[in-house]
Chain A
């Protein structure tokens, strides 16, 4: 589904990604862990199509398309979704309107009929129930006045509505208390399926108790230096990232 080969990227001239390679098959959940500054968020932003990052080398293929050639909106229409680490606030546009407009753009690109407000409201109601968001959030401006946890939950709601093929969760667990973490994880688990893949970027192993990954990768200085199964996350939790640093130093 997603094939990343030797991906290099810079931001403002500074190299951040230095040769990431990653294969994600349909239905798989990949966790990407790593210390601060290792390039985790940059990787997520580059996959989503943020033009503030310059890809200098490598390739990304998604569902047979050259992802790097596509602008962000076309990636979204193809099924790439990024749950932001810091979702922005949008004044004056309600959550419901924002999501309906996005969903209809995606539907149009697939030759599907647009949903009218009534049908969309029904869909939104279901999805809000699924991710345990108070219905009153539908008519609030996007993320405005939301707490940190509410913003993260709202990202999961958007994912539930847009039903992407590949969802990238960028530190969705940061700033969440244990209850919110459980709600968010349950939301993600309900969306898991044979056709939908996840890349879960996280600093901590905690989230992976709830969303059990098929693979765990350690990102360090812009490259994946270690891969394993869910036990690798536990090992990291126990030994810390210094363990990886030391291993690399002796290698």
Chain B
């Protein structure tokens, strides 16, 4: 076992990691765990002298002695307990993970359908080339001690495979529920999504908690591979409450003419960081990364998106909106790397933040590295309170200042929600946003 150095805070996970590394597992998983453990030993925990973490202080995560959930928990949850997190009246495939492990009795559609296979990592026998070829391969450029720790555990998570030309009509919903069992627990979900050539899929990720105020840490890694012409529509809903720490890294590689559309909705946690790394590997690939976060007092949301334009004629969009209340912070980084030869790159980004309090702060940074000469890259940012002249407009129509402010805020946020193509989610989130900001 590799020696873990340079941080006393790391050693607390060593016995858990040692136990996990002894477990039998497919070769692909063992390899990822070993590499994760090696990297975890080498890498410092992120700190504020690192550019990507300058405005996000993760010390509260690093210093909390979390108990990693390394075996399925006795949770006692039943389907009705989950009704507000799931979509029981929809004919979806739903994989429910409780404290990091699949709960088959709460899940449905595990048998998949023609062209679609779903499985959980813990049940994987490792003999499946479609997954073996990609498992653990996508995180080269975005490794941190946190993603390394996730790899070193690699205990459970969702495995999704959509065959060539398949276009399942049912969304695949991954639900991650954390419960509290009297201690600060940590889970490290590890997911892999593979879409073969011309496959289409809708993937929904929901992160929730039975007891939102309790301290918990979710440290998720998702790898997604889109073959030529594939189309992935992905929605993430992060709503696990003010006690939660949530770090997630999603690494996507896109083949020729593929399309990836992502929506990340984050409704406030103590420290939430969502990192998206998209490699546009094939010519003509397109990605659109959208986000909305709503934070309240004491919360932090960090959105980091990195898009590598590696081939010609690719298109990317990053559009994130935030509404910040109380003493809360948001951090946005939109990094675009245009590689040599990636001509006719078309890349745009926009970060818009509404400040509901003068104690809220936002740090927004576009970063462009361009090594091609025929490219179009734009970026922009807006920050400010709801404009007085817009509030005045409401007031001249008989509505109070509070009502004007509330509706303006709702409208600002709901612009992102209203774009969602999946009606049940759109309606649920619309209600959520309306209830949050509507005036009394």
A interface with B by C-beta (< 8 Å): 48-52, 71-73, 75-77, 80-82, 84, 87-88, 90-93, 98-99, 101-103, 105-106, 109, 141, 158, 162
Query: By the criterion CB–CB under 8 Å, are A98 and B395 in contact?
Result: no
B19 interface residue, CB < 8 Å from A? no
From the candidates A52, A84, A162, name the one contacting B398 in the complex (CB within 8 A): A162
Chain B residue, CB-CB nearest to A107:
B398
B410 interface residue, CB < 8 Å from A? yes
What is the predominant secondary structure among interface residues of chain B facing chain A?
helix
Query: By the criterion CB–CB under 8 Å, are B397 and A99 in contact?
Result: yes
Query: By the criterion CB–CB under 8 Å, are A109 and B398 in contact?
Result: yes
Collect the chain B residues with CB atoms within 8 Å of residue A87's CB: 393
Collect the chain B residues with CB atoms within 8 Å of residue A92's CB: 410-415, 418
Chain B residue, CB-CB nearest to A161:
B397
* Known A-B contacts A91-B412, A92-B413; A73 and B418 likewise in contact (beta carbons under 8 Å): no
Query: By the criterion CB–CB under 8 Å, are A98 and B392 in contact?
Result: no
Closest 8 CB pairs of A and B: A92-B411, A102-B397, A72-B395, A93-B411, A105-B398, A76-B398, A106-B398, A92-B414
Query: By the criterion CB–CB under 8 Å, are A158 and B397 in contact?
Result: yes
* Known A-B contacts A93-B407, A93-B410, A141-B411; A88 and B389 likewise in contact (beta carbons under 8 Å): yes
* Number of inter-chain CB pairs below 8 Å: 78
Query: By the criterion CB–CB under 8 Å, are B390 and A90 in contact?
Result: yes
Q: In the complex, what's the smallest C-beta–C-beta distance from A219 to chain B, in angstroms?
A: 21
Chain A residue, CB-CB nearest to B389:
A88
* Known A-B contacts A90-B411, A92-B418; A73 and B393 likewise in contact (beta carbons under 8 Å): no
Q: In the complex, what's the smallest C-beta–C-beta distance from A77 to chain B, in angstroms?
A: 5
From the candidates A49, A73, A90, A91, name the one contacting B400 in the complex (CB within 8 A): A73
A73-B400, A92-B414 given; name 5 further pairs at CB < 8 Å. Answer: A73-B396, A81-B396, A92-B412, A141-B411, A141-B415
Query: By the criterion CB–CB under 8 Å, are A101 and B399 in contact?
Result: yes
B403 interface residue, CB < 8 Å from A? yes
Instruction: Choose among B393, B400, B403 the residue with the greatest number of A CB atoms under 10 Å from its CB.
Output: B393
Alpha-carbon distance A101/B397, docked complex (angstroms): 9
Alpha-carbon distance A92/B323, docked complex (angstroms): 14
CB interface residues, B 378-402, toward A, < 8 Å: 387-390, 392-401
Q: In the complex, what's the smallest C-beta–C-beta distance from B415 to chain A, in angstroms?
A: 4
Alpha-carbon distance A108/B306, docked complex (angstroms): 51
Collect the chain A residues with CB atoms within 8 Å of residue B392's CB: 50-51, 72
Q: In the complex, what's the smallest C-beta–C-beta distance from A48 to chain B, in angstroms?
A: 5
Query: By the criterion CB–CB under 8 Å, are B393 and A84 in contact?
Result: yes
* Known A-B contacts A90-B408, A92-B418, A93-B411; A101 and B403 likewise in contact (beta carbons under 8 Å): yes
Collect the chain A residues with CB atoms within 8 Å of residue B389's CB: 88
Alpha-carbon distance A198/B151, docked complex (angstroms): 72
Alpha-carbon distance A14/B36, docked complex (angstroms): 67
Alpha-carbon distance A80/B396, docked complex (angstroms): 8
Q: In the complex, what's the smallest C-beta–C-beta distance from A112 to chain B, in angstroms?
A: 12
Alpha-carbon distance A184/B413, docked complex (angstroms): 33
